[in-house]
Amino acid sequence: MANLNLSEFTEKLFVTDADHTFIWDTANAISKRVSRNSWLNSGTLTSDAPVTISQTWNNAAVAFTGLKVNAVSTASASGSLLLDLQLGGVSLFKVSKTGSITANNTFNLSGSIVQSSGNIIPSNALIFDYFNQDVVLQRDAANTLALRNGAAAQTFRVYNTYSNAGADTEYIQISATSSGHRIGTNSSGTGASRALLLGTGGGSQWNINTSGHLGTFGSDNLYDIGASGANRPKSLYLGTNIVIGTAPTTLTINPSGLSFSGRFIISESGADGVFGVYNSTASGFNRLQFGGVTDAFPAVARDGAGIKFTGAAAGSTAWVKVPAVAVSALPLAATAGVGARAFVNDAIAPVFGSAVTGGGSVPVPVYSTGSAWNVG
């Protein structure tokens, strides 16, 4: 008899017992008895001969189904399959009785994965490379997608370039390890090292460049760290220098002052313990000014190898004021050291160069010889 499609079989041709199908020929005689498990068995082939189920759908009002497996699982093992496609006895694509899909290689889609109701990954996992099960996407909670696999640290990569089986690549990766979690760029082979760019609104306001330095990107002197009144960062710990723009620039530190446990250097300085004040080229110094720019405000300036006290504007009359104290309030001359100066307000008959005696009413300057306070 001629070959028939499954859709062409009639009730007359389909008479079955428990295990077989009986097929009649045109003379109404039984031509073949076929095991039901062998309906689609093509045997050994030497040329392409696909098993084809051919239908023509021709009614726009009907929702057609091309192939349907409707199993009733009264009792079945958990590993029962609705579909198992194999090659050489090895499963390559499986659909379990619960609807889980397992693929043994790349799973390519030309369209979208859509579920008519619920979540695309309800309570189970979408597993890539199933037989290794080392890359697993799972639903952690509502609106939460997780890349996790027990205690195995995971890495997610987004590539800029990929070739030569990963030998020449550029990518950004998010990885988790026992020593810390990392977001960073990487490359291999001929792939170029790239900066890590951070930004909002489609822009890149900040970057970590390929040398590891944090800076702004594309715009100079535009973006701040912290806010002026609230939500500010706490402490800033630096190993070397603070460099602020180019002169003239103002450094403001508020509200309680500035303290250092080690050296404090302005511009450049010498050995430890030296507080140096220099110009921008470290070759000179003008003055240290207190207050405004008129002569009503004092300043301290270098005068050759000495120091002079002057008005802030241009060298007007200035003075140094030392608070007057009683002779008894002076520290020991040895403690103050040779050359120390003070001012007392209760000297008795002071004589220049002689030791001062307190208990009187004469104001007079005094200096330390290292062993006594003398008038002068």
pLDDT tens track for 7-64: 555 554 454 455 556 666 666 665 666 555 555 666 677 888 787 778 999 999 999 9
- Is 305 domain-assigned? yes
Domain count, the chain: 4
What is the arithmetic mean of pLDDT over 113-135?
A: 50
The more confident residue out of 287 and 156 is: 156
pLDDT at 283: 73
Question: Is the same domain home to 293 and 357?
Answer: no
Within a domain: 328: yes
Query: Of 270 and 327, which is predicted with more confidence?
Result: 327
279 lies in the same domain as 309:
yes
State whether 311 and 336 are in the same domain: no
Its domain, for residue 28, covers: 1-42
Q: Is residue 370 part of a domain?
A: yes
| Torsions phi, psi for 307 (to 5 deg) | -130, 135
The residue to which tokens 């045997």 are assigned: 43
**Is residue 348 one of the residues assigned to a domain?**
yes
pLDDT band at 306 (very low <50, low <70, confident <90, very high): confident
Distance CA 104, CA 133 (A): 11
At residue 269, the pLDDT reads 52
| 367 within a domain of the structure (yes/no) | yes
Same domain (yes/no): 311, 248: yes
- The model's confidence at residue 272, banded by pLDDT at 50, 70 and 90, is low
Nearest-angstrom CA–CA distance, 30 and 14: 11
Q: What is the pLDDT of residue 123?
A: 43
Average pLDDT, the chain: 79
Summarize the confidence of residues 273-295 as an average pLDDT.
75
Residue range 79-94: mean pLDDT, rounded: 90
- 329 and 266 in a common domain: no
Which residue bears the tokens 């977001």? 183
210, part of any domain: yes
- The residues, any chain, with a CB within 8 Å of residue 277's CB and separated by 6 or more, are 266, 267, 285, 288
The answer to whether residues 295 and 330 belong to one domain is no
Q: Do residue 313 and residue 247 come from a single domain?
A: yes
In a domain, 160, yes or no: yes
Can you give the pLDDT at residue 346?
A: 97
Query: Is the separation of the CB atoms in 194 and 187 below 8 Å?
Result: yes
Whether residue 169 is found in the same domain as residue 192: yes
Give the distance, in angstroms, between the CA of residue 195 and the centroid of all CA atoms in the same chain. 13
328 near 356, Cβ under 8 Å?
no
Token pair 């079945």 is found at 76
The two beta strands, 30-35 and 287-289, are: unpaired
Residues 328 and 314 placed together within one structural domain of the fold: no
Q: What is the mean pLDDT of residues 272-278?
A: 69
Q: Indicate the burial class of 347 (C-beta count within 10 angstroms; 0-12, 13-18, 19 or more).
A: buried
Distance CA 350, CA 359 (A): 11
Rounded alpha-carbon distances, angstroms, from residue 96 to 37, 83, 84, 370: 20, 7, 9, 100
Examine the domain organization and report whether 328 and 312 are in the same domain.
Answer: no
Give the end of a domain, one of 289, 319, 349.
319
Mean pLDDT within 250-259 = 57
Whether 234 is covered by a domain: the verdict is no
pTM above 0.75? Answer: no
The Cα 203–Cα 334 span in angstroms is: 68
